[in-house]
Amino acid sequence: MQVHALPGPWAPRHLVGFDLRRRPHLEADVLVIGGGVAGFCAALEAADAGREVLLLAKGSPEESNTAWAQGGIAAVLDPHEAQPNDTVDLHVRDTLAAGVGLCDEVVVRDLLADGARAIACLRRQGCNFDLDDQGAVALAREGGHAARRILHAQGDATGREIARALAQAVERHPGITTIPGAFAIDLLTEGGRVVGALYHRRDELIAALAGATVLATGGCGRVWRETTNPVVATGDGLAMAYRAGAAVADVEFMQFHPTTLYIAGGARLLITEAMRGEGAVLKNHQGERFMPGYHPQADLAPRDVVTRGIISEIRKSGFPHVWLDATHLGAEFLHHRFPTIVQACARFGIDPAKDWLPVHPSAHYHCGGVLTDAQGATTLPGLWAAGEVACTGLHGANRLASNSLLEGLIVGLRAGTAAAAAGGAPGRIRISADRPDPAPEDLDVQDLLRSVRSLMWRQVGIERTANELAMARRSLDFWAQHQARDAFRSPAGWELQNQLTVGALVATAALARTASVGTHTRTDSAGAVDPRHFSLVKP
Q: Would you please indicate which residues are annotated as catalytic (active-site) residues?
A: 303
159 binds, among ligand FAD, ligand SIN, none (CB under 5 to 8 A by kind): ligand FAD
Q: Using the rule CB under 6 A, is 217 a contact of ligand SIN?
A: no
Alpha helices in 298-435 (DSSP H): 303-317, 331-337, 339-346, 403-422
**Min. distance of Cβ 470 from ligand FAD in angstroms?**
29
Residues in contact with ligand FAD by CB under 6 A are 33-39, 56-59, 64-66, 68-73, 158-159, 182-184, 216-219, 228-229, 232-233, 236-237, 270, 365, 387-389, 402-405, 408
Looking only at the bridges linking them, the beta strands covering 369-371 and 248-249 are: antiparallel
Q: Using the rule CB under 6 A, is 94 a contact of ligand SIN?
A: no
Q: Which of residues 488-517 bind ligand SIN (CB under 6 A)?
A: none
Q: How far apart are CA 202 and CA 221, in angstroms?
A: 26
Q: How far apart are CA 420 and CA 520, in angstroms?
A: 37
**Min. distance of Cβ 257 from ligand FAD in angstroms?**
8
Q: Using the rule CB under 6 A, is 272 a contact of ligand SIN?
A: yes
Q: How many CB atoms sit inside 10 A of residue 112's CB?
A: 25
Looking only at the bridges linking them, the beta strands covering 322-325 and 183-190 are: unpaired
Kindly tell me which residue out of 401, 431, 509, 517 binds ligand SIN, with binding defined by CB under 6 A. Answer: 401
Total residues at the site for ligand SIN (CB under 6 A)?
9
Q: How far apart are CA 138 and CA 151, in angstroms?
A: 6
Under 8 Å between Cβ of 486 and 450: no
Which one, 402 or 508, has the nearer CB to ligand FAD? Answer: 402
Under 8 Å between Cβ of 308 and 282: no
Output the CA torsion sign for 490, 187, 364, 251. Answer: positive
Max Cα distance, the chain (Å): 69
How buried is 217 (Cβ within 10 angstroms: 0-12 exposed, 13-18 middle, 19+ buried)? buried
Q: Which of residues 44-73 bind ligand SIN (CB under 6 A)?
A: 70-71
**Min. distance of Cβ 519 from ligand FAD in angstroms?**
14
216 binds, among ligand SIN, ligand FAD, none (CB under 5 to 8 A by kind): ligand FAD
Which one, 158 or 475, has the nearer CB to ligand FAD? Answer: 158
**Kindly report the CA angle at 159 between 156 and 161, in degrees rounded to 5?**
90
Residue closest to ligand SIN when measured from CB atoms: 71
Which one, 29 or 388, has the nearer CB to ligand FAD? Answer: 388
Which one, 9 or 219, has the nearer CB to ligand FAD? Answer: 219
Q: Using the rule CB under 6 A, is 404 a contact of ligand SIN?
A: yes
User: Who's near 400: CB < 8 A, 6+ residues apart?
Assistant: 74, 94, 95, 98, 99, 144, 145, 302
Which one, 116 or 512, has the nearer CB to ligand FAD? Answer: 116
Q: Using the rule CB under 6 A, is 273 a contact of ligand SIN?
A: yes
Enumerate binding residues for ligand SIN (CB under 6 A). 70-71, 272-274, 365, 401-402, 404
